[in-house]
Amino acid sequence: MNEGLSFSEAIKTCYQKIFIINTRACRSEFWYFVIFAFVAHLVLSFCTVFPIIGELIGSLGSLIIIIPFITVSIRRMHDLDKSGLWLLLPALLITLALFLILYGAFATAGILFFLGIVLTLASAVSVILLALLLAHPGTPGQNRFGPDPFQHKIPFSFKPWE
C-alpha cells in the first residue's frame, strides 16, 4: 500500500507542475493541495479588509492558488483515466443557471427562473459527484495519461527554457 506524498511534498509538486496537465496526480497530492488552497483563501480573504493593497494581494494570491488548483484537478482526473473536461460540468451548469435565473427574473417567463433553480441544484449535485469521484483511488498501472504516480518515481524537472 502506498502512503502517497506528504503535505509539503504535495504543495511543492503542485507548484513544480503548475502548467503541466498531461500527467497524473495521486489522491494525496490533490487533497493536500485542496486543504492548502482552502486555508490560503481564508487567509487571503482577511487581506481584503485593507483598501486597495489588500484587494490587490487577495487577487494576486488567489491567482497564484487557482492555477495550480486547476492543473492538479486535471491531473487527478487523469489518474482516474477520465478527461479533465469533466471538471467543466459544474461551471457550465452554474453559468447556464445564472443566465436563466437572471433572464427569468426580468422576463415574464417564470419557467426560465424555475429551470435556473433546477440547474443550480444540478450543479451542486455535480460538484458533490466530482468530489466523490476525485476521492477514488487512481487506476493501477499505466493508463492513457501515463504511468501510475506510485509505480514509477520519475524525477521531475521543468525547464521551459531548454
pLDDT of residue 78: 97
Is residue 133 very low, low, confident or very high in pLDDT (cuts 50, 70, 90)?
A: very high
Q: Which of 5-14, 77-86, 97-106 has the lowest mean pLDDT?
A: 97-106
Is residue 117 very low, low, confident or very high in pLDDT (cuts 50, 70, 90)?
A: confident
- Count of CB atoms within 10 A of residue 149's CB? 23
Per-residue DSSP letter, 150: T
Place of cell 507548484: 15
pLDDT of residue 111: 81
Using alpha carbons, select from 81, 78, 70, 86 the residue that is nearest to residue 23.
78
Task: State what percent of residues in the chain have pLDDT above 70.
Answer: 88
Considering only residues 135 and 49, tell me which one the structure prediction assigns the higher pLDDT: 135
Is residue 152 very low, low, confident or very high in pLDDT (cuts 50, 70, 90)?
A: low
Distance CA(29)–CA(20), nearest Å, equals: 14
Is residue 162 very low, low, confident or very high in pLDDT (cuts 50, 70, 90)?
A: very low
pLDDT of residue 108: 66
**Does the model's pTM come out above 0.85?**
no
Using alpha carbons, select from 29, 14, 25 the residue that is nearest to residue 147.
25
Is residue 13 very low, low, confident or very high in pLDDT (cuts 50, 70, 90)?
A: very high
**What average pLDDT score do residues 105-127 get?**
83
Distance CA(116)–CA(106), nearest Å, equals: 13
